[in-house]
């Protein structure tokens, strides 16, 4: 991630695609506390090829000891020194990577994480939450596994806290105000979930089917939670319940039936979401694969077939 290093105190300034410096804390990205600094003193902006420094002030900006011309753009190079008015406000150009979206850890000893579509936090071995970019809304969301509520929508600059760890969400402009183009052919509800489980249900395979297209997701332990929810929806459908009421399972009952804590159930579901995201990156509607309401979960609206030992057990067409 593009960054500057403040030489007098060692702090790191991570650059946004259009980054401003100045005295007016509520108007700039990096606050410079000095009476000689203008309200908006300077900017550094990515133009698609270079990071460009521009002096917007009355009292000047220096680059490698030379005062630059106001309102003129100067391409930056690694190792250059930028000074705003006084030597105490001197920054060294540290990294000039193109802008992107990142998780910046509160602990400087931890690495910055370049964001993909789904992350388990604090790590994949002992996750407490999932951070995901919803394909439908193009909105970053945080889902805390121990909670029963809806995922939390996140904004640029928001701090994510989990236990004694915290991160700042740094979003580039192209992920905060996207132009969405939805491909209906890539909607999850257009696929049929095909489950294949063994007689003892120790192994559960899953594939997605649409016409002649088959996507094999293999045999994974996290497929079984979704199978369990699909069975409940299939049973309610067979009894003639309407679509609105079908398939809902109380979290407390689900915990008892599956023999695992709610947090672990959520982890299993997010491992499946991650598998789908990695395997079919353009797929939309993944967030609705499992629906939630007031302490309950259910399988979503997609069609499914469940086979046990090769025999069809239950099937349901899409809602």
Cα of 294 vs its chain's centroid, Å: 24
DSSP, res 284: B
Distance CA 16, CA 286 (A): 29
pTM: 0.66
pLDDT in tens, the chain (319 residues): 899 999 998 888 888 889 999 999 999 989 999 999 999 999 999 999 999 999 999 999 999 999 999 999 999 999 999 999 989 999 999 999 998 888 888 876 778 888 887 888 888 788 888 898 876 677 898 988 877 677 889 988 899 998 888 998 988 755 443 434 445 567 899 999 999 999 999 999 999 999 999 999 999 999 999 999 999 999 999 999 999 999 999 999 999 999 999 889 988 998 998 899 889 988 888 888 999 888 899 999 999 999 999 999 999 988 6
Listed in sequence order, the residues at least 6 apart from 48 whose beta carbon sits closer than 8 Å to its beta carbon are none
Strands 249-250 and 290-293 come out as unpaired
Q: Which two tokens stand for residue 104?
A: 């910046």
144: exposed, middle or buried (C-beta count within 10 Å: 0-12, 13-18, 19+)? middle
Q: Which two tokens stand for residue 222?
A: 């996290």
């Amino acid at each position: 991630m593009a960054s500057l290093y403040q030489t007098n105190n060692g702090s790191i300034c991570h650059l946004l695609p259009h980054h401003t410096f100045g005295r007016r804390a509520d108007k700039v990205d990096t606050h410079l506390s000095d009476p000689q600094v203008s309200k908006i003193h300077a900017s550094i902006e990515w133009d698609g090829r270079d990071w460009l420094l521009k002096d917007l002030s009355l009292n000047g900006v220096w680059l490698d000891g030379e005062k630059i011309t106001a309102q003129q753009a100067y391409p930056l190079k690694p190792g250059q020194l930028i000074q705003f008015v006084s030597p105490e406000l001197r920054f060294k150009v540290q990294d000039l990577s193109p802008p992107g979206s990142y998780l910046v850890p509160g602990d400087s000893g931890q690495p910055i994480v370049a964001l993909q579509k789904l992350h388990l936090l604090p790590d994949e071995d002992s996750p407490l939450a999932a951070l995901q970019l919803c394909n439908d809304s193009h909105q970053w969301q945080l889902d805390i596994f121990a909670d029963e509520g809806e995922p939390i929508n996140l904004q640029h600059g928001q701090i994510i806290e989990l236990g004694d760890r915290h991160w700042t969400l740094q979003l580039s402009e192209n992920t905060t105000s996207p132009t969405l183009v939805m491909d209906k052919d890539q909607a999850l509800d257009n696929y049929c979930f095909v489950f294949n489980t063994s007689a003892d249900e120790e192994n559960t395979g899953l594939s997605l089917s649409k016409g002649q297209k088959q996507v094999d997701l293999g045999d994974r332990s996290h497929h079984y939670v979704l199978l369990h929810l699909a069975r409940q929806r299939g049973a309610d459908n067979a009894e003639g319940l309407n679509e609105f009421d079908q398939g809902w399972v109380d979290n407390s009952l689900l915990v008892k039936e599956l023999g695992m804590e709610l947090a672990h159930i959520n982890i299993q579901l997010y491992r499946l979401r991650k598998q789908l995201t990695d395997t079919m990156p353009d797929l939309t509607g993944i967030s609705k694969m499992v629906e939630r309401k007031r302490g309950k979960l259910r399988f979503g609206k997609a069609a499914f077939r469940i086979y046990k030992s090769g025999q069809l057990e239950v099937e349901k067409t899409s809602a």
